[in-house]
């Protein structure tokens, strides 16, 4: 356990002492801010069915940050270690592979959570400035944060896996971007299928549909199926990452 | 301290280490010598449990490196080839991280890091970024890392690789000094290095052990162990005939020099010395003599002889 916390400390230090972290933070703040402004101006123009929360997480601005953030967070995690050769110094010290993977994973998750602070601030400041006139629904907001935590857990595990596969950071980033996009498109496929009235197929695909999960949770409906889905997939990809690291040692 | 039994490591379609067996006793400094690609790094990586063996068994301080990997790793201080380090960490920060990772308590780590920084001569760069260090300093930071948890066994993969002559001398002195308290296994393809530091040499080539002995014994064991250089004024052919029949002489070559001098190079059997007989011969035949020297085979000769079949 001590080894895990020492590794976690090192990973967090590497996150918050690197310029990349702050570039990502600024980028996310910028995109979030523009998205926030766009949602509010859309709400003031015409009457609409959704709340501010639903609008906030369905703008193209939001999706831009959604696809960009995970590759940026995860790309260097393992690929940099294998390129520098420090994987060898780590794994010849009394460190288990699983401790190494989990410390990297948790550090990335912590950084991801920090990236959500500007969003929370946006909403808080808006509420404060409007003097309570603007109503922010508590349930949908909680649901939104929950689903983005779950999706974050899953996408970071996916990115970590990509980082273990590739020695080059850029390749790792492109690989995780592709995997995240593919997963997302799989859900879009469900929507297409249901429009074609192939219900039995469509139902299977809705289990994967990230868009659908976001829609449910941002309206305040906490469904356990996506929770189990994302958590189990996270564990699956972490296990896969472990296998890749072990297998690489067996092979070369 | 190390026991390697029938170690075989195969990569896809290639055997890097082939049925290797050797022991390293406590307190020994053993040099692992071989041409590039002989399997030195692979063997070290198996001993440090970075790579699993295809076949065979390796124990370090009594711990099987596969079954009791974590326990075995605690006993080893390993410096890999090319010394991988985090470029964006400061020297002291890095060593403290490594010390804690290898199980030292916070307070113990602080004191010990200061000690190894002094020992390896990196105290004056402790606040510098590792990425900004010269190769010599990087090497010494790597060595400090290997030492920091007071391991019983040091495994150093090409510790002087890429250093300038002054730095090589410094690192060698350091290794000799460390040898007083640690068991050391170091690899190199530089022969003078093992001659200077090691008490025993294991020569490996193509994954097999070709020789294992002290540097002195290896030199003595060499078949054409050495040579004698002789310079006289005489007729080359008749002198050659007289010299060739002396006991222990294997081969005589002559070279004519200006003013009637002839230079003879003799290959002689291991452990024999014909200088007295040659001096007698020159006196008897009234050959003017101006050089008579014995050349001892260097480890380099042994190395070339053993690895070039």
Shortest Cα distance, chain B CAs vs residue A72, angstroms:
18
The average confidence (pLDDT) of chain A is 86
Q: According to the model, what pLDDT value does residue A183 have?
A: 87
Mean pLDDT across A186-197: 73
Q: Cβ A92–B100 below 8 Å, yes or no?
A: no
Which contiguous run of DSSP H or E holds residue B41?
A: helix B40-47
Closest CB to B74: pick one of A7, A17, A94.
A94
**Rounded CA gap, A21 and B295, in Å?**
64
Q: According to the model, what pLDDT value does residue B102 have?
A: 94
Shortest Cα distance, chain A CAs vs residue B101, angstroms:
6
Which residue of A93, A96, A169, A245 to mutate against B (max B Cβ within 10 Å)? A93
Q: According to the model, what pLDDT value does residue A210 have?
A: 79
Q: Which residues of chain B have pLDDT under 50?
A: none
Mean pLDDT across A125-135: 79
Residue numbers in B near A86 (CB within 8 A): 84-86
CB neighbour list of residue A240: distance below 8 Å, 6 or more residues apart: A161
**Rounded CA gap, A62 and A60, in Å?**
5
Q: What are phi and psi of A4, to 5 degrees?
A: -60, -45
Q: According to the model, what pLDDT value does residue A251 have?
A: 60
Closest CB to A250: pick one of B52, B70, B76.
B52
pLDDT level of residue A81 (50, 70, 90 thresholds) = very high
Query: How large a percentage of chain A has pLDDT more than 70?
Result: 94
Shortest Cα distance, chain A CAs vs residue B228, angstroms:
48
Q: Cβ A249–B50 below 8 Å, yes or no?
A: yes
**Rounded CA gap, B270 and A219, in Å?**
91
Q: According to the model, what pLDDT value does residue B266 have?
A: 85
Q: According to the model, what pLDDT value does residue B221 have?
A: 65
Shortest Cα distance, chain B CAs vs residue A229, angstroms:
35
Residue A112 has pLDDT above 90, yes or no: yes
Closest CB to A88: pick one of B50, B86, B97.
B50
């Amino acid at each position: 356990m001590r080894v895990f916390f020492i590794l976690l400390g090192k990973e967090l230090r590497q996150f918050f002492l690197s310029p990349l972290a702050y570039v990502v933070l600024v980028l996310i703040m910028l995109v979030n801010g523009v998205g926030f402004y766009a949602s509010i101006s859309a709400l003031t123009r015409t009457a609409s069915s959704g709340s501010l929360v639903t609008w906030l997480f369905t703008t193209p601005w939001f999706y831009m940050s959604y696809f960009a953030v995970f590759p940026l967070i995860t790309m260097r995690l393992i690929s940099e270690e294998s390129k520098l050769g420090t994987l060898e110094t780590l794994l010849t010290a009394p460190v288990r592979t699983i401790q190494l993977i989990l410390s990297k994973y948790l550090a990335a998750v912590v950084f991801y959570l920090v990236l959500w602070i500007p969003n929370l601030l946006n909403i808080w400041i808006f509420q404060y400035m409007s003097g309570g006139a603007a109503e922010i629904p508590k349930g949908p907001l909680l649901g939104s944060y929950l689903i983005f935590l779950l999706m974050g857990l899953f996408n970071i595990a996916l990115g970590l896996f990509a980082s273990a596969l590739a020695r080059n950071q850029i390749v790792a980033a492109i690989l995780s971007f592709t995997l995240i996009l593919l997963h997302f498109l799989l859900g879009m496929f469900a929507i297409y299928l249901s429009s074609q009235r192939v219900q039995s197929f469509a139902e299977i695909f809705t289990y994967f549909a990230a868009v659908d999960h976001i829609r449910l949770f941002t309206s305040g409906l906490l469904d356990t199926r996506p929770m189990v889905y994302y958590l189990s997939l996270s564990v699956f990809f972490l296990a896969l990452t472990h296998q890749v690291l072990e297998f690489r040692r067996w092979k070369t | 301290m190390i026991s390697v039994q029938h170690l075989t490591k195969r990569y896809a379609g290639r055997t890097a280490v082939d049925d290797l067996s050797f022991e390293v006793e406590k307190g020994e400094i053993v040099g692992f010598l071989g041409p590039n690609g002989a399997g030195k790094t692979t063997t070290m990586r198996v001993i440090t449990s970075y790579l699993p063996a295809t076949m065979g068994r390796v124990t370090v301080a009594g711990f099987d490196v596969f079954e009791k990997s974590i326990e075995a790793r605690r006993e080893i201080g390993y410096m890999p080839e090319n010394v991988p380090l985090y470029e964006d960490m400061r020297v002291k920060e890095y060593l403290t991280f490594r010390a804690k990772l290898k199980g030292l308590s916070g307070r113990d780590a602080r004191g010990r890091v200061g000690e190894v920084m002094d020992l390896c001569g990196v105290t004056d760069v402790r606040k510098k970024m590792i990425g900004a260090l010269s190769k010599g300093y990087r090497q010494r930071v790597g060595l400090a890392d290997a030492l920091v948890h007071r391991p019983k066994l040091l495994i150093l993969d090409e510790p002087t690789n890429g250093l300038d002559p002054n730095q090589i001398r410094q690192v060698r002195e350091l290794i000799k000094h460390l040898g007083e308290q640690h068991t050391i296994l170091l690899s190199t393809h530089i022969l003078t290095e093992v001659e200077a530091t090691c008490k025993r040499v294991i020569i490996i080539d193509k994954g097999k052990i070709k020789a294992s002995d002290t540097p002195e014994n290896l030199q003595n064991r060499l078949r054409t162990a050495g040579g004698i250089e002789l310079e006289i004024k005489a007729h080359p052919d008749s002198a050659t005939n007289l010299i060739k029949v002396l006991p222990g002489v294997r081969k005589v070559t002559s070279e004519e020099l200006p003013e009637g001098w002839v230079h003879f190079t003799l290959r002689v059997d291991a452990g024999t010395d014909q200088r007295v007989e040659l001096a007698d011969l020159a006196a008897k035949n009234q050959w003017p003599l101006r050089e008579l020297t014995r050349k001892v085979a260097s480890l380099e000769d042994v190395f070339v002889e053993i690895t070039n079949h």
